[in-house]
Amino acid sequence: MTAQMFVPLLAALGAVPLGYGAALAARRLADAIEPRASVMIALAAGLAVWAAFVMPTGWLLWITFALGWALLVLATVDAIAFRLPDAITLPLIAVGIGVSDLLPDHDVIGHVAGMLAGLLAFYAIAQGYRYVRGREGLGLGDAKLAGAAGAWLGWQALPFLVLLACAVGIVWVLIAALRRGREALNERIPFGVALAFAIWAIWLYGLPDFLSY
């Protein structure tokens, strides 16, 4: 049995205190319902094991752990309180730009461009929706998370990121409608959850082959 085979187990064990800390952080940031620590621990451990089976061992794997746990807290807070706190999204942007220089393509400019494109595009959508409908439809937290997505993934990933996040959002609405009926169609959805999932999936698996050229 090689040392590499122990990585998923060590990752799961290491996620126990981090999952508990994520539950406390989510409670404080959301200032609302406290997520169960056991659920957060299980989710944090699951993300760690998932990453350990996909990413190569080394610094990139540990960076992936950090990204997954940050996205977990963001998604939890957004699901509870419809907030994406700057305390996590802004450092996530900075770390994404820093990590981009260590990736195989070393395309820092492309990741900076992705950060700006994601931030500005979502900000423009939010302002346009507010102007047309007279109410908020997309929060500025979503724009900052989109900027973080561009910082981590690069500008090339943004179109597929939006497509995947919208697909997840549609599934969320359909499940809510099945559970609560038509009234669920008029409810707000935590789009940050969908964005977080899309960032995680693309970071782990990259873009589909037909979009990689």
- CA angle, 178 then 181 then 184, to 5°: 95
The pLDDT value given to residue 44: 84
Residues 90 and 144 sit within 8 Å (Cβ to Cβ) = yes
pLDDT at 28 over 80: no
Q: What one-character DSSP code corresponds to residue 101?
A: T
| Domain boundaries, given as residue ranges, for the chain | 1-83, 84-213
Distance CA 194, CA 100 (A): 23
Q: How confident is the model at residue 192 (pLDDT cuts 50, 70, 90)?
A: very high
Distance CA 11, CA 126 (A): 38
User: Residue 2's pLDDT is what?
Assistant: 47
**Residues 140-183: pLDDT tens digits?**
889 999 999 999 999 999 999 999 999 998 888 787 777 776 67
Output the six-digit token pair for 15.
Answer: 């996620």
Residue 45 has pLDDT above 60, yes or no: yes
Q: Are 193 and 79 in contact (CB under 8 A)?
A: yes
User: What are the C-alpha distances in Å from 139 to residues 9, 95, 128, 130, 135?
Assistant: 38, 22, 12, 10, 11
Average pLDDT for residues 196-205, to the nearest whole number? 96
Whether the pLDDT of residue 38 is over 70: the answer is yes
| pLDDT digit string, tens, across residues 76-123 | 889 888 889 888 899 999 999 999 888 887 789 999 999 999 999 999
Given a contact cutoff of 8 angstroms between Cβ atoms, the answer to whether 30 and 75 are in contact is no
- Quick one: pLDDT band at residue 3, thresholds 50, 70, 90? very low
Give the pLDDT band of residue 20 (cuts 50, 70, 90).
low
- Tokens 């620590």 belong to 37
Residue 180 token pair: 């609560």
The H-or-E segment that residue 151 falls in is: helix 140-153
DSSP state, residue 140: H
CA distance 20 to 4: 26
**What pLDDT is recorded for position 184?**
62
Distance CA(154)–CA(200), nearest Å, equals: 14
Average pLDDT value over all residues in the chain: 81
Q: Which residue has the higher pLDDT, 58 or 94?
A: 94
Q: Which two tokens stand for residue 78?
A: 């957004």
Tokens of 31: 């200032």
Alpha helices in 31-157 (DSSP H): 37-54, 59-81, 86-100, 108-133, 140-153
Full-model pTM: 0.85
